[in-house]
Amino acid sequence: MAKIFSVASGKGGVGKSTVCCHLARSMAQHGEKTLIIEMGCGFRGLDVFLNIDQIVYDFGDVVEKRCDVFDAIQNVKDCELLDLLPASVDFEKEFEDTDYNYIFDILHEEYDNIILDLPLRYDVLYSIKDFIDACLIVVTPDPVCVRNASMCVNFIHNEFEKDIDMKLIVNKISKKAFRRGFIDNIDSIIDETQLQFLGGLPQSESIILANCNGSALKKRSLEYRIFDAIYERLIGNSVKVLI
């Protein structure tokens, strides 16, 4: 039975897809068969981040029964245990709860982990709330992003009938901005969101390069080790938080 993790945020462009991609690579490195499902409609990005050349079928085609789910799933060339189910490019499409049920039912037995790259729509998170083991909230340290994330956390606590296990990842940390006092420190971000902190990633050229080339982060690089520590903490192992 797969563990299902969703990745969400209170603001666009903060690094949800980046976290999905490199966290999934960490899981696969640990020998766990992992699938990323790109849940949005309209825009795609993970095919580029994972260097997948050609997409024939996508999430929408599976739901519309134009293909089998395994026809739409693509393997990542340089990572045998990692697969992607790409997003539908139909901007008009709205999926029903039953569509998610249908796909998760088939895939649950096939993978150790399924990571859901969520769009900025809380109705999608609501639709899948009964399936997920945890929701990772990605924030950047700027005050608007932190405030929006904390509003989302409150909204989920108050409006969802189910308790969702939410955890925090801080991305695009600029040490210079911290030093100069432009942005708050990590402790105050944790205080404001009230979430368990999994790890923090720097603003990093290696991450930009890996995303542009669709490649993995270099083994033993700081960024690689941070994703590995995030993975360990996510599965409950007590490793030091890396920032």
Ligand X SMILES: Nc1ncnc2c1ncn2[C@@H]1O[C@H](COP(=O)(O)OP(=O)(O)OP(=O)(O)O)[C@@H](O)[C@H]1O
Query: Taking CB under 6 A as the rule, which mask of x and - marks residues 97-126 in contact with ligand X?
Result: -----------------------x------
**Are the beta carbons of 49 and 96 closer than 8 angstroms?**
no
In the complex, least distance from residue 44 CB atom to Mg ion, rounded to whole angstroms? 9
Q: Is 209 in the site for ligand X (CB under 6 A)?
A: no
Q: Is 6 in the site for ligand X (CB under 6 A)?
A: no
**H-assigned helices in 108-221:** 122-128, 143-159, 175-179, 186-193, 205-213
Please name the residue that has the structure tokens 């405030």.
Answer: 147
**Are the beta carbons of 143 and 183 closer than 8 angstroms?**
yes
Q: Is 14 in the site for ligand X (CB under 6 A)?
A: yes
Question: Can you tell me the distance from the alpha carbon of 199 to that of 27, in angstroms, rounded to the nearest whole number?
Answer: 16
Q: Pick from Mg ion, ligand X, none: which does 14 bind, CB < 5 to 8 A by kind?
A: ligand X
Question: Can you tell me the distance from the alpha carbon of 181 to that of 64, in angstroms, rounded to the nearest whole number?
Answer: 51
Question: Can you tell me the distance from the alpha carbon of 179 to that of 172, in angstroms, rounded to the nearest whole number?
Answer: 15
Please name the residue that has the structure tokens 């909204």.
Answer: 155
Contact segment (CB under 6 A) with ligand X among 15-23, 65-73, 106-114, 234-242 equals: 15-23
Question: Can you tell me the distance from the alpha carbon of 167 to that of 134, in angstroms, rounded to the nearest whole number?
Answer: 7
Question: Can you tell me the distance from the alpha carbon of 11 to that of 191, in angstroms, rounded to the nearest whole number?
Answer: 19
Taking CB under 6 A as the criterion, the residue among 51, 174, 203, 215 binding ligand X is 203
For residue 103, which amino acid is it? Answer: I
Q: Pick from ligand X, Mg ion, none: which does 18 bind, CB < 5 to 8 A by kind?
A: ligand X
For residue 106, which amino acid is it? Answer: I
Q: Is 141 in the site for ligand X (CB under 6 A)?
A: no
Question: Can you tell me the distance from the alpha carbon of 230 to that of 22, in angstroms, rounded to the nearest whole number?
Answer: 10
Closer by beta carbon to ligand X, 28 or else 201: 201
Q: Is 233 in the site for ligand X (CB under 6 A)?
A: no
Taking CB under 6 A as the criterion, the residue among 2, 3, 5, 15 binding ligand X is 15
Query: Taking CB under 6 A as the rule, which mask of x and - marks residues 35-54 in contact with ligand X?
Result: ----------x---------
The secondary element (H helix, E strand) that includes residue 182 is none
> How many residues sit in the footprint of ligand X (CB under 6 A)?
18
Contact segment (CB under 6 A) with ligand X among 29-37, 60-68, 81-89, 198-206 equals: 198-206
In the complex, least distance from residue 132 CB atom to Mg ion, rounded to whole angstroms? 18
Give the CA distances from residue 95 to residues 74, 85, 128, 174, 242, in Å, rounded to whole numbers and listed in that order.
Answer: 21, 15, 11, 38, 37
Q: Pick from Mg ion, ligand X, none: which does 42 bind, CB < 5 to 8 A by kind?
A: none
Q: Chain centroid to CA 225: how far?
A: 17
Q: Is 172 in the site for ligand X (CB under 6 A)?
A: yes
Q: Is 174 in the site for ligand X (CB under 6 A)?
A: no
Please name the residue that has the structure tokens 């409150």.
Answer: 154
What residues line the site for Mg ion (CB under 5 A)?
Answer: 16-17
Q: Which residues bind ligand X (CB under 6 A)?
A: 9, 12-18, 45, 120, 171-172, 201, 203-204, 207-208, 211
